[in-house]
Structure 1
Amino acid sequence: MPAGAQSYDEAKAAGESEPQLQLLTDITGSFRPGVLTALMGVSGAGKTTLMDVLAGRKTVGTITGDVRVNGFPKEQESFATIAGYVEQSDIHQPRTTVREALQISGLLRLHNVSRETVELFVDEVMGLVELEPLRDSIVGAPGQFGLSVEQRKRLTIAVELVANPSIVFMDEPTSGLDARAAAIVMRAVRNTVNTGRTVVCTIHQPSIDIFDAFDELLLLKRGGRTIFHGQIGTRAALLVEYFQSIPGVRPCANGINPATWMLEITALGPEQRLGVDFADLYASSKLSKHNNVLIEELATPKEGAEPTRVAGYAQPFTVQFMALMRRALNEYWRFPGYNAVRCVFSTILGLLLGSIYYQNGSHRSTANDIINIAGALFLSLVFMGYSNAAGVLPIIANARTVFYREKAANMYCVEAFALANALVEIPYVTLQAVLYSLATFFLIGFQVTAARFFWYLFFTWLLLVFFTYFGMMTVSIFPVVALAQIVNILFLNIFFLYGGFFITYPNFPIYWQWMYYLDPLSYSIEGVVASQLSMNTENITLPDGSTSTIQNFLVSYYNFKESFYPYCALIMVGFIAFFWFINMLAQKKLNFNKR
């Protein structure tokens, strides 16, 4: 497996607003292959900030300085293909298996590798992090079902390792774990280092045994300044020797955790009592001078070496899409709580509507009969559609958290992700539409012809797809589900108001008629009603006692024309495509994962 050395110089991140808050100050150091480095410091020292800067994951602030990989300036697009980032939060698709999670990571991140090789590599990594017994286990959601916290952490590490990175960043891999679980995770980390990779871990307060697993330490003080960078030694002997050489520093007693002792003596209070600045002491120390010589050597490319340049994605669009589609189909199939419920809801709603308006579609003698049928169709379709719009919000919100991690790893393009998420809904929306249409079409008693049933089913399907994609769009535009729900309700009311049923088009004030044409709901209700009734030339009695054909009544009362409903279907398709495009664009341009 390839290995890489990383050096950095004067890396710092500052906030964008004035006055700027400097989080990192003149940090110089190096990380080398086969060396496990701990990145430590008190809270607010900038540990995670430094790691985000080095990994290219920082999304806010101003960054200055020089980061080099094997002596060459870092190019983020190529760097993303050789670096893995194990986040503190274990983010995975909940209804995928352990093996499936590793397969998609390997397939979409390994360049120029056959599928057979990916499978072999997945098996190797599962053995490395001791996940083989859990290969077919569902990942699950934290605290609900699936893997334990420690198992999820090992999976998070494995998902990065299966991409065969030369450099691995880990943000507090033992956070929230008990002693046994932390030991298992650190054994997996140590196994990773022993393969020749460069591994850097932020860690807060490690136990003696966990701290002893590290080879080197980069220690920061508040304000993001370096106060130690070098080898730790067996049982932290070299680290203790360095700090005990500073006059006035309290010795590390036998049996005391060197990591805890180190953090205590370098805190702000002891530093002020001693009247020293540990960062200045380190900068003038022999250790710092030795490190500077090493960094100068690492920052210069070796003779004949070439920078790592890997352009684009590991796989073409078709492979990306098929892999994401397969994962999405598995996720949906394993989530009956989402899909079965909406299908049952559609069936029950259809049966209720059909029983209330039983055979009314074939007994139309007055205008009120037509209005009642149109109103029932309008309300039931809207209620069913809105349930789809509301139900899809948490699904896409959860998928978005995984998307941010995978996007940062350069696994796939946004278009493939958005298309897979959209198309996976189609089979279930189609089943909804079929169940609802079968329950209502025949019970209401519409004229039974293949053409009329097709149009009824098609407009029902279009409306459900429209609402589903509308929900996807809103949750992609807004940072939280609660806000997307408010926007959904707001637009539902607007759709209701201008849909042409409660206030029909001929009764709209002229200055609001343009809203009728912008309302997707108006085309849905016109399509479903006109496709069933506008061809009828039988007479009905109007409220004033006069008569009119159903065809003429639909034109005069609703502005529903027989010749226009096929165009309504085309317009609905256009709305659906528009909402999908906005959804995709929002996922591409907006990032609510601020770090």
Structure 2
Amino acid sequence: MKRGGQEIYVGPLGRHSCHLIKYFESMHGVSKIKEAYNPATWMLEVTASSQEMMLGVDFADLYKNSDLYKRNKALIAELSTPRPGTKDLHFETQFSQPFWTQCMACLWKQHWSYWRNPAYTAVRFIFTTFIAIVFGTMFWDLGTKVSRSQDLINAMGSMYAATLFLGVQNSSSVQPVVAVERTVFYREKAAGMYSAIPYAFGQVFIEIPYVFVQSVFYGVIVYSMIGFEWTAAKFFWYFFFMYCTLLYFTFYGMMTVAITPNQNVASIVAAFFYAAWNLFSGFIVPRPRIPIWWRWYYWACPVAWTLYGLVASQFGDIQTKLSDDETVEQYLRRYFGFKHDFLGIVAAVIVALPVMFALTFALSIKAFNFQRR
């Protein structure tokens, strides 16, 4: 083919490219190939644009007017006509394996991909352990101090800081991983290996055990060092809310990659909502003090639900009186609007958030294709 994709020779090469050489040497003005010269190099030289201008010919037109071109067209027409009694090639399904087998294969592939990526998995555990120790020493034994409102705000501050610190870290660190995996997915889907939903299934479910272990590391260290009340119910609530929070932050980071063309754009989109979630979390400005026209976004803010669950589960049922003769439970209801008997609904929302982000990730992977070629 010449520049522009035009054909100048379509046919057999022959031994030592003898047919190719014979075809071009038969044209008037084309120089003969030298002894022991590379046929490919010779062919490129004699068919260059400069040679066409010098000879006053167009090799593409010469090919179209040649007997070789006519024979090729006749052969194509012959082969394009199906033989009597034959049927078109047909497959019942687009992919060779059933849906569930695709899901298991993608999950197994992601298992090995994550296992062989300690820069992501191991560093996440090390970072989480380090942050847990820092927070534990910074807020040492705050969980037992409930005699002043400032103590409660300090304890809530530890929850607020951990939620954003670890959450944003999870969301940001998963983005480059998913960006690379998405490129692999495009190639393997085009090859007919699996569809979009099994890939999303594997990408989502492989994060669940890793985030679980991360939550165990953080929860045990921080819960014991801060000194929250050691009851099975309260520890479960703390672990449950932290686990779901880290999950929805991780899935949120994955979702931003799925709906944007590259990791850089995903980081910008994610950063905007980090700031919004921080502002409407209910810690900087408690919900009762948020202007009424913005209060709706408090209920749409995932971090607000996390803080609600963490604070209400740990302090929402404490009847200890504060210095102003108000119980802890009453203070949380009045100042933050937190009610202990609302925990069931909070738990349901916290479970729904990672599910929502994971489903959005899966549907976006299926719907959007940002390949440039």
Q: CA deviation at 1:467?
A: 0.5
* 1:376 maps to 2:158: yes
Larger radius of gyration: 2
Q: CA deviation at 1:410?
A: 2.1
Preserved contact between residue 396 and residue 472 of structure 1 (Cα < 8 Å): yes
Question: Quick one: which amino acid aligns to residue 563 of structure 1?
Answer: D
Preserved contact between residue 527 and residue 566 of structure 1 (Cα < 8 Å): no
Q: CA deviation at 1:375?
A: 0.9
For 2:188 and 2:26, the matched residues in 1 are separated by: 46
Alignment correspondent of 2:91: 310
Q: Over residues 235-294 of structure 1, what are the superposed CA-to-partner deviations in whole Å (9 max), with x where a residue is unaligned?
A: 111101101111111222122211122122222221122111111111111111111221
For 2:36 and 2:175, the matched residues in 1 are separated by: 53
Whose RCO is larger (CA < 8 A, sep 6+)?
A: 2
Alignment correspondent of 1:284: 65
Q: Secondary structure at the match of 2:8?
A: strand
Alignment correspondent of 2:325: 547
* 1:356 maps to 2:138: yes
* 1:461 maps to 2:257: no
Alignment correspondent of 1:333: 115
Matches within 5 A, 1:38-117: none
Question: Quick one: which amino acid aligns to residue 444 of structure 1?
Answer: I
One of 218, 221, 226 as aligned partner of 1:436 = 218
Preserved contact between residue 107 and residue 202 of structure 2 (Cα < 8 Å): yes
Preserved contact between residue 174 and residue 254 of structure 2 (Cα < 8 Å): yes
For 1:593 and 1:499, the matched residues in 2 are separated by: 37
Q: Secondary structure at the match of 1:229?
A: coil
Q: CA deviation at 1:390?
A: 0.7
Matches within 5 A, 1:407-486: 407-486=189-268
Preserved contact between residue 305 and residue 346 of structure 2 (Cα < 8 Å): yes
For 1:225 and 1:499, the matched residues in 2 are separated by: 62
For 1:326 and 1:445, the matched residues in 2 are separated by: 40
Preserved contact between residue 477 and residue 590 of structure 1 (Cα < 8 Å): yes
Preserved contact between residue 389 and residue 471 of structure 1 (Cα < 8 Å): yes
Question: Quick one: which amino acid aligns to residue 361 of structure 2?
Answer: N
Whose strand proportion is higher, 1 or 2? 1
Alignment correspondent of 1:301: 82
Preserved contact between residue 361 and residue 373 of structure 1 (Cα < 8 Å): yes
Q: Over residues 290-349 of structure 1, what are the superposed CA-to-partner deviations in whole Å (9 max), with x where a residue is unaligned?
A: 112211111111232221101322111111111111111122122222111111211221
Q: Over residues 443-473 of structure 1, what are the superposed CA-to-partner deviations in whole Å (9 max), with x where a residue is unaligned?
A: 1111111111000000000110000000000
For 2:268 and 2:329, the matched residues in 1 are separated by: 39
Runs of 4+ with deviation above 4 angstroms: none
Alignment correspondent of 1:505: 287
Q: Secondary structure at the match of 2:11?
A: strand
Alignment correspondent of 2:172: 390
Question: Quick one: which amino acid aligns to residue 357 of structure 2?
Answer: F
Q: CA deviation at 1:233?
A: 1.0
Alignment correspondent of 2:353: 575
Aligned alpha-carbon RMSD (Å) = 1.2
Alignment correspondent of 1:406: 188
Higher mean Cα deviation, 246-255 or 364-373?
Answer: 246-255
Alignment correspondent of 1:237: 18
Q: Over residues 389-448 of structure 1, what are the superposed CA-to-partner deviations in whole Å (9 max), with x where a residue is unaligned?
A: 011111111111110011112222211110110010111100111111101111111111
Alignment correspondent of 1:226: 7
Q: CA deviation at 1:223?
A: 2.5
One of 53, 56, 73 as aligned partner of 1:272 = 53
Preserved contact between residue 2 and residue 8 of structure 2 (Cα < 8 Å): yes
Q: Secondary structure at the match of 1:536?
A: coil
Percent identity, please: 40
For 1:243 and 1:389, the matched residues in 2 are separated by: 61
Q: CA deviation at 1:594?
A: 2.3
Q: CA deviation at 1:222?
A: 2.2
Alignment correspondent of 1:592: 370
Whose helix proportion is higher, 1 or 2? 2
Q: CA deviation at 1:550?
A: 0.6
Alignment correspondent of 1:171: none
For 2:234 and 2:168, the matched residues in 1 are separated by: 25
Alignment correspondent of 1:365: 147
Q: CA deviation at 1:530?
A: 0.7
Preserved contact between residue 145 and residue 152 of structure 2 (Cα < 8 Å): no
Q: Over residues 67-89 of structure 1, what are the superposed CA-to-partner deviations in whole Å (9 max), with x where a residue is unaligned?
A: xxxxxxxxxxxxxxxxxxxxxxx
5+ unaligned residues in a row in structure 1: which ranges? 1-219
Q: Secondary structure at the match of 2:9?
A: strand
Q: Over residues 474-514 of structure 1, what are the superposed CA-to-partner deviations in whole Å (9 max), with x where a residue is unaligned?
A: 01111111111122211111110111111111111111101
Q: Secondary structure at the match of 1:276?
A: coil
Q: Give the structure-2-normalised TM-score.
A: 0.97
Q: CA deviation at 1:351?
A: 1.7
Preserved contact between residue 277 and residue 302 of structure 2 (Cα < 8 Å): yes
Question: Quick one: which amino acid aligns to residue 301 of structure 2?
Answer: D
Q: Secondary structure at the match of 1:509?
A: coil
Q: Over residues 3-22 of structure 1, what are the superposed CA-to-partner deviations in whole Å (9 max), with x where a residue is unaligned?
A: xxxxxxxxxxxxxxxxxxxx
Q: Secondary structure at the match of 2:127?
A: helix
For 1:537 and 1:426, the matched residues in 2 are separated by: 37
Question: Quick one: which amino acid aligns to residue 25 of structure 2?
Answer: Q
For 2:175 and 2:185, the matched residues in 1 are separated by: 15
Alignment correspondent of 1:33: none
For 1:271 and 1:494, the matched residues in 2 are separated by: 64
Q: Over residues 13-47 of structure 1, what are the superposed CA-to-partner deviations in whole Å (9 max), with x where a residue is unaligned?
A: xxxxxxxxxxxxxxxxxxxxxxxxxxxxxxxxxxx
One of 264, 275, 279 as aligned partner of 1:493 = 275
For 1:264 and 1:340, the matched residues in 2 are separated by: 56
Aligned residues: 372
Q: Secondary structure at the match of 1:249?
A: coil
Question: Quick one: which amino acid aligns to residue 452 of structure 1?
Answer: K
For 1:346 and 1:292, the matched residues in 2 are separated by: 67
Question: Quick one: which amino acid aligns to residue 263 of structure 1?
Answer: L
